């Protein structure tokens, strides 16, 4: 009887072992795998699966088979949503403290500049996220780890991961150190030039009208990326001579046509404010 039970138990262990192995491969990570990134972020994760999910793009998750229980591979889209909200709140609070004389519209526009995709993508590059993001084969082939939209979304997902793992204080420390404080020096000079008074497209329109020039002409020059994460590339053309920039053109990109146009206008304004080259 004892031998039969032991044989039965052994058979049960052999049957269940592959299922456990699959689960463990997906659920258990060595701490050393993420130590370099944690050092950059300034946060040590108690649950490193939270960080792994933040680094997993939907294109990678869709290529993975469900586990033994039928659960789909987790990806970071919901975390992007949460991270966007956490980042917006923490940035708004920081700007409220730093610029007590700003009106509501000025604060809103300042926040927009600190949370725009291009700026967050640069933060992601400084973190070295490209080598950590898990992408599907198609995104890998199209150099998805270099795309602004994917980098920016991953930064938002990581902010959510830090918030979920360490709470508001941990998320605030990360946002202040890596996003708000480096970006404040970009905002302060702009307050003296009036660029904070309007959104970039409106500001550019007013600058053109002041010089009796025609309205800026925006053109979508490229749309790329997957259907669920398109990236728009837009050029803006200023047809008449403005200050020291004759027939100036500028480019911008974003996850929507509107966002790309705003970023193109912002680039045009920055170039118009550059000192003339002799």
Residue reference for tokens 């050393």:
32
How far out from the chain centre does Cα 140 lie?
18
Helix, coil or strand: residue 224: strand
Question: How many CB atoms lie under 10 A from the CB of residue 74?
Answer: 18
Question: For residues 231 and 153, what is the distance between their CA atoms, to the nearest angstrom?
Answer: 12
Cα angle at 147 between 76 and 109, to 5 degrees?
80
CB 87 within 8 A of CB 156: yes
The partner residues of 223 in beta bridges, in order of sequence, read: 232
Listing DSSP states for 166-204 in one string gives HHHHHHHHHHIIIIIHHHHHHHHHHHHHTTTSS-HHHHH
Active-site hit among 84, 153, 190, 261: 84
Question: For residues 117 and 152, what is the distance between their CA atoms, to the nearest angstrom?
Answer: 5
Active-site hit among 80, 153, 156, 199: 156
Residue 84 annotated in active site: yes
Nearest Cα residue to 84 out of 43, 130, 53, 116: 116
Residue 122 annotated in active site: no
CB 111 within 8 A of CB 88: yes
Catalytic center residues:
84, 156
């Amino acid at each position: 009887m004892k031998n039969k039970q032991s044989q039965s138990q052994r058979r049960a262990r052999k049957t269940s072992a592959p299922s456990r192995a699959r689960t463990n491969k997906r659920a258990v990570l060595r701490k050393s795998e993420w130590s370099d990134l944690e050092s950059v972020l300034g946060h040590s994760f108690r649950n490193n699966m939270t960080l792994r999910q933040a680094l997993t793009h939907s294109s990678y998750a869709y290529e993975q088979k469900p586990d033994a229980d039928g659960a789909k591979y987790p990806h970071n889209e919901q975390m992007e949503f949460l991270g966007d909200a956490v980042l917006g709140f923490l940035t708004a609070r920081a700007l409220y403290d730093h610029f007590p004389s700003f009106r509501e519209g000025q604060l809103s526009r300042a926040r927009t500049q600190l949370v725009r995709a291009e700026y967050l993508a640069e933060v992601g590059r400084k973190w070295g996220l490209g080598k950590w993001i898990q992408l599907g084969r198609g995104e890998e082939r199209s150099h998805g780890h270099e795309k602004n939209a994917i980098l920016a979304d991953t930064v938002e997902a990581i902010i959510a991961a830090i918030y979920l793992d360490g709470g508001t204080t941990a998320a605030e420390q990360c946002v202040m150190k890596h996003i708000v404080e480096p970006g404040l020096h970009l905002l302060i000079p702009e307050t003296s030039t009036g660029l904070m008074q309007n959104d970039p497209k409106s500001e550019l329109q007013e600058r053109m009208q002041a010089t009796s020039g025609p309205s800026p002409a925006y053109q979508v020059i490229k749309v790329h990326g997957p259907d669920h994460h398109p990236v728009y590339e837009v050029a803006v053309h200023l047809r008449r001579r403005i200050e020291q920039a004759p027939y100036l053109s500028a480019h911008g990109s974003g996850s929507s046509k509107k966002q790309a146009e705003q970023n193109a206008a912002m680039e045009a304004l920055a170039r118009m404010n550059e000192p003339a080259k002799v």
